[in-house]
Amino acid sequence: MEKIKMTTPLVEMDGDEMTRVLWGMIKETLILPYVDLKTEYYDLGLLSRNATKDQITVDAALATKRLGVAVKCATITPNKQRMEEYPELTEMWKSPNGTIRAILDGTAFRAPIVLPCIKPVVKNWEKPITIARHAYGDMYKAVDMTTEEPGTATLTFKGESGAEKTLTVQTVNGPAVWQGQHNLESSIRAFARSCFQYALSQKQDLWFSTKDTIAKVYDGEFKRIFEEEYESSCKAEFEKAGITYFYTLIDDAVARVIRSKGGFIWALKNYDGDVMSDMVAAAFGSLAMMTSVLVSPDGTMEFEASHGTVTRHYYRYLKGESTSTNPMATIFAWSGALKRRGELDSLPELVRFGERLEAASLKTLEDGIMTRDLLPLVEPGFQARGVDSGEFLEAIAARL
Ligand code: NAP
Ligand code: MG
């Protein structure tokens, strides 16, 4: 066949360890034979980040801003142990995902890949639930203290103009514990815009929930800003796309989510998102089947797998053993990026290719061919055979 043409490149961020091995295999087996692939390549492997003093990560993020679409391989975030493992490291470089998120001012959306032979623990969830977690402020940038004697705590804001605002937090008659939190209007607004953008791109309803009945001012601001963004710039587009924006109290949302069929995006404040994303991920089954998209307020998107570099498998691979590492989330990162590139450049062939790549991957699993991590998750009675990563990719290619 003639290869599918691309007009604009997408940003390709290579990574580390087992996922870097899978990255090459996925391109070789599933993409390059069919797509005349155009990418701007950035090697975010740990040693390349070290050699460039992490400039390559910044460059990759800036290129993503310019080109609008990126696909990223999992990368090592160095810690103490890694500093010993790689003595050539000159610094304990920061998490690339953190750097990229800060530059793109983005929100991460996590969604599971679902299929009939692996049922979530919550039996009525038929479609994926995508969690959007606000990644700035609240408890995560709070100050805390304990006090021993009776007394009064106040909260004071000193403006640059010299104006002051003070509230009494509480008068206590014994030892107490205190916390001061904040968030930024600009960050909440960017979060809201990313959520509306992503809901439109996925044509899925957007839910948002806070505890504004109790935190009337604090959570009330979140609710107000979301409403303002929706009313002023998204309502018409939502109506055209046939999707809704739905605000409800967090307790009500939790109850509704459990009873729902899934198929929507759930936006949450920082702490709520931290807790709920782990719950939803666990109920859907496997980290290896979790995808992630970083979306900035202007609709720029960076696609990746949620899992890490699968270090344990990599060390077996280095010893020459074949591994059964699950490439699904990384394949879906590629298909997501190709579909988005196709949408932005009006290339229906490219969009269709992304869809077919996903369908062929799901069909392979439905035919009972899967990496071994999934075997314990399949429905009782379903006939499945565990294969290594290479065989699994060949089986997808045969269906593609
Ligand atoms: P991990 O790479 O996600 O792997 C943890 C374990 O989960 C694996 O040992 C494996 O279990 C299972 N697993 C995860 N993905 C799998 C897949 N695709 N197929 C089969 N099994 C899979 O987490 P980690 O070991 O904590 O972190 C390793 C490195 O990844 C760290 O250096 C960390 O900094 C980095 N990391 C990067 C990102 C990112 O770039 N977005 C995210 C998280 C972590 P078994 O060994 O039992 O088979
Ligand atoms: Mg968590």
Helix (H, G, I), strand (E, B) or coil at 5: coil
State how beta strands 176-180 and 143-147 pair. antiparallel
Q: Indicate which residue's Cα is closest to atom 5 of ligand 1.
A: 310
Ligand 1 pocket residue status of 223, Cβ below 6 Å: no
Q: Indicate which residue's Cα is closest to atom 46 of ligand 1.
A: 312
Ligand 1 pocket residue status of 287, Cβ below 6 Å: yes
Both tokens assigned to 252: 């009500």
Q: Indicate which residue's Cα is closest to atom 44 of ligand 1.
A: 308
Nearest ligand atom owner, CA of 389: 1
Buried b or exposed e, range 92-125, using 16+ CB within 10 angstroms: ebeebbebbbebbbbbbbbbbbbbebbbbebeeb
d(CA 84, CA 120): 40
Please give the average pLDDT of every successive group of 10 residues along the chain, which has 400 residues. Answer: 95 98 98 98 98 98 98 96 95 92 89 91 94 91 95 98 97 98 96 96 96 97 98 96 97 96 96 90 88 92 95 97 96 98 97 98 97 94 96 98
122 DSSP assignment: S
- Asked whether the beta carbons of 133 and 273 are under 8 A apart, the reply is yes
Pocket probe mutation, ligand 1, options 92, 294, 309, max atoms within 8 Å of Cβ: 309
Ligand 1 atom index nearest CA of 311: 28
Ligand 1 pocket residue status of 308, Cβ below 6 Å: yes
Residues whose CB is less than 8 angstroms from the CB of residue 229 and which lie 6 or more positions away in sequence, other chains included: 189, 192, 193, 196
d(CA 201, CA 18): 31
Q: CA–CA distance from 122 to each of 88, 197, 214, 257, 263 (Å)?
A: 47, 28, 29, 10, 14
Q: Indicate which residue's Cα is closest to atom 16 of ligand 1.
A: 288
Q: Indicate which residue's Cα is closest to atom 24 of ligand 1.
A: 308
Nearest ligand atom owner, CA of 280: 2
Output Rg (C-alpha) for the chain, integer angstroms: 23
Enter the pTM of the model.
0.90
Q: What pLDDT score was predicted for residue 286?
A: 84
Q: What pLDDT score was predicted for residue 35?
A: 98
Both tokens assigned to 193: 């815009």
178 DSSP assignment: E
Instruction: Mark the residues whose beta carbon lies below 5 A from ion ligand 2.
Output: 274, 278
- Asked whether the beta carbons of 137 and 182 are under 8 A apart, the reply is yes
Residues paired with 133 in a beta bridge:
108, 268
Nearest ligand atom owner, CA of 268: 2
Pocket probe mutation, ligand 1, options 94, 109, 278, 287, max atoms within 8 Å of Cβ: 287
How far away, in angstroms, is 175 Cα from ligand 2 center?
A: 31
Q: CA–CA distance from 101 to each of 1, 61, 104, 225, 236 (Å)?
A: 38, 8, 5, 21, 29
Helix (H, G, I), strand (E, B) or coil at 40: strand
Q: What pLDDT score was predicted for residue 37?
A: 98
Residue-by-residue DSSP string for 150-177: SEEEEEEEE-TTS-EEEEEEEEESS-EE
Ligand 1 pocket residue status of 75, Cβ below 6 Å: yes
- Asked whether the beta carbons of 393 and 29 are under 8 A apart, the reply is yes
- Asked whether the beta carbons of 73 and 14 are under 8 A apart, the reply is yes
Ligand 1 pocket residue status of 44, Cβ below 6 Å: no
How far away, in angstroms, is 268 Cα from ligand 2 center?
A: 13
d(CA 252, CA 246): 12
Residues paired with 147 in a beta bridge:
176
Residues paired with 14 in a beta bridge:
43
**Ordered alpha helix ranges (H), the chain:** 17-26, 46-51, 55-67, 80-85, 96-104, 185-202, 218-229, 235-241, 250-259, 270-284, 311-318, 328-344, 348-366, 389-399
